Structure 1
Amino acid sequence: MVRETPVITEEMVQQAVAFHGHLCPGLAMGIRAAEIALREVGRCTEEWEVAAQVETDMCAVDAIQVLVGTTFGRGTLMHLDYGKNAYTFTSRADGKTIRIVSKPTAGGPMSEEHQVLWQKMRERTMTPEDKKRFWELQNARARVILGEPLENLYEFTEPPALLPRRNGSPLYTRCEACGEMVAQNKARSVGNKTLCVPCAGKSGQNSSRTNSNPL
């Protein structure tokens, strides 16, 4: 059970909003995910390293980067392209790990008006009045999420630690199709050629990595 001691302040919310560009339900879910990470494993700093694995590329990840301090460049943030609103946080110091998955009911049901405006947004048929009302509803729903008990938003498990790799200085080679440089551990071997991932995909042939690089 996650303790209900508040750690997210309005200042932190505004930091996430400034980075992301607006307040929305997705960002609010990321802020609450960051709240769990800060409470359970701490913030990623030079002295205390925390790793995050995110299974989506939605708005929530921006809040996690800003508030937890995990980044791709430092090798403390890994994107797993699973299309799930699920996040795993691990302390590299002691291996403590928590995985959280958003509940289908998180944030409550979207109103019919909100759904209609979502559809208009997708179809690019919004009027200026529609846009104003849409963002009013987005902000209102985000504020509901920010005030919900965490157990209403996420399910919690404690899996074994699975840490993203530590970034180093990769060795590079030249793709034999496009001529661009590619990290060796990302290159593919196709026939007798070393190719970058896009060129390997264009070849229409089965490919395998020239060098296995686990997490």
Structure 2
Amino acid sequence: MNSSMPSIEEVSKFHGHICPGLALGYRAAGVALEWLKHHRAEDEEIIAIVENRACGIDALQYMLGTTAGKGNFFISDYGKHVYTIANRATGKALRIVVKPKGRWAKEGESREDTLKRLLEMPAEELFETREVEIELPGKAEVLQSVVCEDCGEAAMETKIRHYHARRLCIPCFEAESGLEA
């Protein structure tokens, strides 16, 4: 591992605990950082598209600087331990896939032993990686807010729905119309 990489203990402070799932994300983020030549996103120049909602995605957010709030972290929840990292400047993307054989605890293996194995095994045994072509998601938009005429809460103008000549946020629109926005 590169000395500029945070420790798993440091990453666990963001996540809340150390577990095998966090270790998978930690290792995947390490592979991504190598590919990115240790460049961490300051804004939206690096994006992450993750295919699960498991513990490991916290490591990618923390280590790569990709976050939902910044608009460069996207979840497509397919239940797969797959992470696609892209560089907007180069247009290149790396798909990191956890190999099923390396991920699962071996029969009789303790949680601690699984964690140790995941942190120490060679990356090429744990992951399949390949450069892929993807359509890069658009950058985050900063738009005007509009006040919902039902609940009185402000919502981004692109999330307002017009119903019976009223401007409604999505939850109020769905409740009032019975339709899905």
With normalisation by structure 2, the TM-score equals 0.82
Letter in 2 for 1:73: G
Over 3 Å counting, the alpha-carbon distance change for 1:204 and 1:87 in structure 2 is farther
1:99 aligns with 2:72: no
Q: Flag the structure with more relative contact order, 1 or 2, with Cα contacts below 8 A and sequence separation at least 6.
A: 1
Q: Root-mean-square deviation (CA), in Å? A: 2.7
Greater mean deviation of Cα atoms: 102-111 or 142-151: 102-111
1:198 aligns with 2:171: yes
Counting only pairs closer than 5 Å after superposition, residues 112-191 of structure 1 correspond to structure 2 as: 137-190=110-163
Which digits, 9 at most, give the CA deviation of each residue in 1:129-188, with x for residues without a partner? xxxxxxxx4333111111122233223333223334323422111223322111122334
Structure 1: where are the runs of 5+ without partners? Answer: 1-5, 115-136, 209-215
Q: Helix, strand or coil for the counterpart of 1:37? A: helix
**2:22 equivalent in structure 1:** 27
Which digits, 9 at most, give the CA deviation of each residue in 1:10-67, with x for residues without a partner? 8522211222121101000001110121011243244892111112221111111111
CA distance in 2, matches of 1:37, 1:174: 41
Q: Percent identity?
A: 35
Work out the number of aligned pairs and report it. 180
Letter in 1 for 2:20: P
1:199 offset after TM fit, Å?
2.7
With normalisation by structure 1, the TM-score equals 0.70
* 8 Å contact kept, 1:24–1:141: no
* 8 Å contact kept, 2:94–2:129: yes
CA distance in 1, matches of 2:174, 2:43: 41
Structure 2: where are the runs of 5+ without partners? Answer: none
